[in-house]
Structure 1
């Protein structure tokens, strides 16, 4: 039964992932991306693809990590940074939930309507207009997010700041995403990798 996939399929139907106060099966989440259809693709990163997932009365972004990459370590790093360190700020993307088993590794985030700043700035097909007041709002928001990370104890160094990792909501409020390469900074032992500190 395991070899022909029955048990694996049953697990997807029965395993639930909590998002806020609601729970969804892993299969519901996969189906909400139209089974990771290219038509739902929001962006690509060094370790996976992000898809739009339309659940009942809820839209989220689902990052499917490449099973051949250091996916498990990235999930551990992200969970450590967002949950264990309890990172909460208006200019950081919210990690809502995760799923990691066998060859399926998912990170579930709040959905950012306008996508990445990189897409807005450099995609020739983008229809989003960035007047100077909006650009100032974005720069200030990113600065606030970095200030929050750098003033924590211990400090967090993002290490992967780029326009594709700055996401915009419908009001052009920026949020920093992707903490897979982040490191902790402590004076006694500078640049401790988050992955080395995970104790989940």
Structure 2
């Protein structure tokens, strides 16, 4: 394998993106007839300029000037950074553009020295400019003036799914229904892309690319690596391996053959993260548990074992039936071969009904002790037969003992009963002693009579 191919393979597998030396140099002939009054087009290969113009023209997005972006950035706040570059929070005033309402926005600023470049920028504009869906982040516009390349999105105030799952010390863990709802909404986003008139393969589905709005609605973001699906009779698209290690399907990782089933595998990894509360790769765990898929997959199809991998933060507050079905969906999505994996539409059809199975919170178990001893009730019938043959005196003593047993929780009654029992016993002993004495006296009289004879 050539050195460049090995480099592309390595950089793709580790989530970094390789640019050729000619791309890095950016030395391209300028086109004075360009419709864009900027140096942006001059940095693009000549054969790709028409493609860029057509893509931007069809995008139906706002094209902001750099002067307008300065207004947006008046009170900017840094939100984070990725392979594309830093992301800032800004504000669009209501008078900036006719028909554009005032709102907070998130602005991606392409890092000139970063890992991504023109192709990723264009893919983002092309995809989100043409594809609109409730579970895709809305791209409002872009700026491509001189060397300034920006993307302006709707602001997602709840951040990423990754933060909610793995920053548990700062954010309250999601409930079972919240996790299931996010899984369903993310699956709908992927299903929409796969079933579009021009199918699109997302290629970088992961927890950090699932953003949440104020209502915790999940939306897919970051389409820089999106790729057109196979056309006609083609079964796959051959491309260099790009994405994030741990989420990429093994068949795509090994062969470079990209299909919609590659996204299905990545969805299975995220669904497994939702179930377990663990990262797909975690070097801080024991060796056998560092790779989440390898560790958890054998448990997913075992109804008697899957609870061992469920997130302890759920505290068993989930529907066992729903969790078992979700675990089985994850198992099928994580098949090592693409054919057994379901289509995303089928995943949605299975997961969405599970939302109607409400979670079952485990409350405190309270056991009430009955006032009357249960043994008395169980023995009642036997007692009645037993006392039938007793004489009146023994029957009375038996009734007194049974009444005392009913009120053993009362100290006063217990002490009174014990005192009466002692009295009864003493009286009974005296009678027996008197009876034996009388019998002994009669025996001595008889013996005396016999002796005198």
Q: TM-score range by the shorter chain?
A: 0.7 to 0.9
Residue matched to 2:224: 180
Q: Output the CA distance in 1 between the equivalents of 2:148 and 2:80.
A: 18
Q: Which residue of 2 aligns with 1:43?
A: 80
Tell me how far apart the structure 1 counterparts of residues 117 and 72 of structure 2 sit (CA, whole Å): 19
Tell me which of 105, 123, 146 is aligned to 1:77: 123
**Greater fraction of residues in strand:** 1
Q: Is the 8 A contact 1:98 1:107 kept in 2?
A: yes
Q: CA–CA distance in 1 between the matches of 2:172 and 2:214? A: 11
With structure 2 as the length reference, what TM-score do the two structures score?
A: 0.34
Structure 1 CA distance, aligned partners of 2:231 and 2:202? 17
Q: Distance in 1 between the 2:118 and 2:165 partners?
A: 32
The structure with higher relative contact order (CA 8 Å, sep 6+) is 1
Rounded to whole Å, the distance in 2 between the matches of 1:125 and 1:53 is 28
1:166 aligns with 2:233: no
Please name the residue that 1:54 is paired with.
Answer: 91
| 1:136 paired residue among 156, 180, 183 | 180
Q: Over aligned residues, Cα RMSD in angstroms?
A: 2.3
Matched, 1:68 2:113: yes
1:124 positional shift: 4.5
Identify which of 91, 112, 117 aligns with 2:161. Answer: 117
Query: Are the equivalent residues in 2 in contact too, given 1:72–1:105 (CA < 8 A)?
Result: no
Displacement of 1:47 after TM fit?
1.9
Q: Distance in 1 between matches of 2:238 and 2:195?
A: 16
Verify the 8 A CA contact 1:60 1:108 in the aligned structure 2. Answer: yes
Larger radius of gyration: 2
CA distance in 2, matches of 1:152, 1:138: 21
Return the alpha-carbon distance in structure 1 between the equivalents of residues 87 and 182 of structure 2.
22
1:7-22 residue pairs with structure 2 within 5 A? 18=62
1:127 equivalent among 154, 160, 171: 171
Per residue, is there more helix in 1 or in 2? 2
Aligned pair count? 166
Residues 103 and 142 of structure 1: CA distance in aligned 2, closer, same or farther (over 3 Å): same
Which secondary structure does the structure 1 equivalent of 2:135 belong to? coil
Give distance in 2, aligned partners of 1:79 and 1:143: 22
Matched with 2:133 is 89
Q: For the residues of structure 2 that align with 1:18 and 1:74, how far apart are their CA atoms?
A: 19
Q: Could you tell me which residue of structure 1 aligns to residue 68 of structure 2? A: 25
Q: Tell me the secondary structure at the aligned position of residue 99 of structure 1.
A: strand
CA distance in 2, matches of 1:182, 1:168: 20
Write the distance in 2 (CA, Å) between the matches of 1:46 and 1:99: 18
Gaps of 5+ in 1: 1-10, 12-16, 34-39, 194-200
Distance 2:158 2:210 in 1: 11
Deviation at 1:102, TM superposition (A): 2.6
Between stretches 92-101 and 118-127, larger displacement belongs to 118-127
